[in-house]
Amino acid sequence: MYDVVGVGNALVDIQTQVPDSVLRELDVEKGIMTLVDDAQQQTVLTKVARMPRNRCAGGSAANTIVAIAEFGGRAAYIGKVCRDEVGEFFLQDMRDMGVKIDVDLASEGQSGSCAVLITGDAQRTMLTNLGVSATLDPEDVDEEEIRQAKYVYVEGYLLTGESTKAAAMRAIELAKKHNVLVAFTASDPFLVNMLRDELWTLIDDHVDLLFCNEEEAKSLTGKDDCHECAAELHRHVGNVALTLGAEGSLVMHDGVMTKIAGVPCHAIDTTGAGDMYAGAFLYGITNGMTQAQAGNLASHAASRIVSQLGARLHHKFTPAEIEDLMK
């Protein structure tokens, strides 16, 4: 049995700290995800070649699934990589973190990667080359793994490609067939702006738990007040976790809105903050916590992850710390 099975774009994250001048030289928009081709990705990596770098298995859903495993949860992941060094690294890194992952490797192409450029204000700018992760299709989705899960977690980025969208919908279809709950993350404001109507249909018809940040919520609902956004989203989906950055989050369940306080910290790198929040929250609700308790754990986890470099916890939560946060 799994607490959560994640479905997403399998990417190896390459994280490095850069001055703002590098973003200007590369002519990329700060703070968002931009898709790039092989040549553009190589230009970026060459630009930062002499800067200290960190590499780990990544992608939005993969980060969340690893977070669940870091808390001691049972997790599996479905994504596509190639039979190359990057793909082998992705698989080994996920397995080393305790995540179950068995995928058919693509025989051609290259595995996906994401250059994560972190500026001094803790903003992360992501330049993503999807590679073979974009070829994930419905046949890659293992029905037996879905059947054994409490939740299936799907990243919104999958909706940007026909093949990956079909894989996402197959996972959701199988979840519904086996009475498995569906959690979905809006992923990025640009995605909401591009696919708003499609997202609403998905949320209305299939999603049990929606994760989004304030900007995504405002774009989805057309409302300016975050509390009104949460209430409007809750009219369409049973459970909502709306993150507010340093201000914490709003959680809605059974018509009740709970404000989860933010945890003060010195932000160094916002990479994976939302992914970590989702992972801690999903771990909590699949391991006996109330929504409020899970939200509190998620708030502390997100604060800890932005206080360090990278999307993996340098200092994991101990069982005693988790128990204390449930009080």
Which residues are identified as catalytic? Answer: 275
| Residue with tokens 């498995």, as numbered in its chain | 180
Cβ–Cβ under 8 Å, residues 63 and 269: no
Token reading at 61: 């859903």
Token reading at 260: 């989860």
Residue type, 252: M
Cβ–Cβ under 8 Å, residues 71 and 99: no
CA distance 263 to 198: 34
Strand arrangement of the beta sheet that strand 149-155 belongs to:
75-78, 2-7, 149-155, 181-185, 209-213, 239-243, 249-253, 256-260
Cβ–Cβ under 8 Å, residues 278 and 298: yes
Beta bridge partners of 257: 252
Cβ–Cβ under 8 Å, residues 111 and 12: yes
